[in-house]
Amino acid sequence: MVAPLNPACHGPRVPSDAGKTIHFISLGCPKNRVDTEVMLGVSELHDYRLVERPEDAEVIVVNTCGFIDAAKEESVETILAMGELRQGGGRCERLVVAGCLSQRYPEELASQMPEVDHFLGSSDMLKLAEVLARPSEAPRMLVGNPAEYTLRASDPRQLSQGLHSAYVKIAEGCNRSCAFCTIPSFRGKQRSRAVPDVVQEVERWVQLGVTEINLISQDTVAFGRDLKDGTDLTALTRAVADVDGLRWLRLFYLYPERLPEGLIALLADHPRVLPYVDMPLQHASDAMLRRMRRGHGGDRLRRVVDRLREQVGERLVFRTAFIVGHPGETDADFDELCEFVRWAEFDRVGVFRYSVEEGTSAGEMDDQVPEEVAEARRRELLAVQRPISRAKQELLVGTDLEVLVEGVSDESDLLLQGRWYGQAPEIDGKVYLANGEARPGELRKAFVTQAADYDLVADLYERDGTLPEPPPGADPRPKRRLRLPTV
């Protein structure tokens, strides 16, 4: 997803007429956004002023994604568009390409994209300082070894999505060997941060007013194993949840293995740890899980789902993702996946069509599934999930939810929007607040009046705990109908 950064960031800013101008485009996952925010912090230290439009920038930085074909194509198209903008007489003096794509294909990009001035890899965010301090002297190729860098609390970083929510990366790289994935090849082996370092960063964000912290990495459940000192995700989660002033703590990218009892207890009972599980399962067929090199079969997935449902209870919101069209996937394998989704009744499901990636064992398999078959399966699995998601949404109508207010709605400036804990930032739907007033970053109680497949409409309670008075003669519970966006 193309995500130009919002210039309304935290911390001391240079005057609006000071310094040179810079524009960032962040592509891909939230982990990439964290990397872009580090480069944004670097630019602030060098007195560069962030601008919203690339046409107004003297330096343009594109942080790329190189995970699958669609992401690579989007990255290349974005780079070329910025190159054309520069050649068309814009203000741009330096075009910088960073991230996973340049880490994977540094020489190819350098030879085929003469319009790019500098290339940085997936762990070279701090090297942007060389480009900004001495643009004419900085090397064109600044792609280094990803294993040499792990994010630290002391690294400069500026939040780009307002002050109510922040992603915190707890590790770099991955030690898994999934057949379809290239990430370890350009992100390196897992490198966990020390717990005190993560806590220090969280404390800084909370002191600045952040309400929600989202812990992310490529393999979050494996946090600390590489440190070999007993550090684990349970200890980290407990330490972060105990930070004074934090209200919501969310975990992303849990691998489907036996979760520690202590971690499940935190999900079930800790008032700040949200009972929201993001666990990409990828498939349910034993044969496909073996071919994907996931290290387990379908029975483990059923046990994991049952255990979480039983121990966390009705408050659990379970998000997962699947890959369809992986080499060797038969009609029977896909039917088993559909049946698993019907059985599990997940709250949220993402479905991705398999993408052939060079350098992976799956990419070398002979029994590739035709694209049209994979696409048909993707649509069918989404159709299986849609009524399940809708039914769960409908159950929320007539209930009260705590909503994190994000600001004016993207759909209409007459509405506010926010999220309840069952909606992760930039991933799940929204709660559109049709009545009432609130400030961004507030946690407010709201009464749900309407549901769609992924979004909700609700009325904010007043701060004294009452609902806004309806107009004379109206139903005491507002039932204003809104046209919700279709995903």
pLDDT tens-digit map of 211-227: 999 999 999 999 999 99
Q: For residues 482 and 125, which has the higher predicted lDDT (pLDDT)?
A: 125
Dump pLDDT digits (tens) for 80-139: 999 998 887 778 999 999 999 999 999 999 999 999 999 999 999 999 999 999 988 999
* Euclidean distance between CA atoms 313 and 141, whole angstroms: 52
What is the rounded average pLDDT for all residues in the chain?
90
Structural contact between residues 265 and 271, judged by C-beta atoms closer than 8 angstroms: no
* Euclidean distance between CA atoms 400 and 442, whole angstroms: 16
Residue type, 28: G
Q: Residue 58: which residues within 8 A CB-CB, separation 6 or more?
A: 20, 21, 22, 91, 92, 93, 94
pLDDT reported for residue 184: 85
Site of tokens 């992401």 = 71
The answer to whether domain 165-394 has CATH 3.40.50.10320 is: no
Angle, to 10 degrees, between the axis of helix 233-241 and the axis of helix 195-207?
30
403 forms beta bridges with 444
Question: Two tokens at 452?
Answer: 């769609």
- Give whole-number Cα distances, 349 to 245, 279, 290, 438, in Å: 32, 10, 22, 31
* One fold for 3-148 and 396-487: no
Residue type, 356: V
Residue spans per domain, the chain: 3-148, 165-394, 396-487
As a whole number, mean pLDDT of residues 45-73 equals 91
pLDDT reported for residue 470: 57
Question: Two tokens at 217?
Answer: 């990495």
22 forms beta bridges with 50, 59
Q: For residues 136 and 476, which has the higher predicted lDDT (pLDDT)?
A: 136
The answer to whether domain 3-148 has CATH 3.40.50.10540 is: no
Q: Give residue 399's Cα distance to chain centre.
A: 28
Question: Two tokens at 268?
Answer: 């079930």
The answer to whether domain 396-487 has CATH 2.40.50.140 is: yes
Using the Cα atoms of residue 43, residue 45, residue 50 and residue 56 in order, give the sign of their dihedral.
negative
Q: How many CB atoms lie within 10 A of CB 200?
A: 15
Rounded to two decimals, the pTM is 0.90
- Which parts of 38-113 are beta strand (E)? 49-50, 59-64, 94-99
Rounded CA Rg of the chain: 23
* Euclidean distance between CA atoms 387 and 342, whole angstroms: 10
Q: Write the DSSP symbol of residue 252.
A: -
Q: Write the DSSP symbol of residue 222.
A: G
Query: DSSP states of 356-423 as a string?
Result: --TTSTGGG-S-PPPHHHHHHHHHHHHHHHHHHHHHHHHTTTT-EEEEEEEEE-SS-TTSEEEE-TTS
Name the nearest CA neighbour of 189 among 168, 167, 169, 218.
Answer: 218
pLDDT reported for residue 410: 81
Q: Residue 285: which residues within 8 A CB-CB, separation 6 or more?
A: 298, 329, 332, 333, 334, 336, 337
Question: Two tokens at 395?
Answer: 């159950």
Name the nearest CA neighbour of 85 among 141, 23, 40.
Answer: 23
pLDDT reported for residue 81: 93
Dump pLDDT digits (tens) for 372-418: 999 999 999 999 999 999 999 999 999 999 999 999 988 787 789 99
457 forms beta bridges with 432, 450
* Euclidean distance between CA atoms 104 and 106, whole angstroms: 6
Dump pLDDT digits (tens) for 313-344: 999 999 999 999 999 999 999 999 999 999 99
- Termini Cα distance of the chain: 14
As a whole number, mean pLDDT of residues 271-291 equals 97
In the chain, pLDDT over 70 holds for what percent of residues? 92
Please, what's the b/e burial string for 16-38 (b: 16 or more CB within 10 A of its CB; e: otherwise)?
eeebbbbbbbbbbbbbbbbbbbb
* Euclidean distance between CA atoms 358 and 355, whole angstroms: 10
As a whole number, mean pLDDT of residues 293-308 equals 95
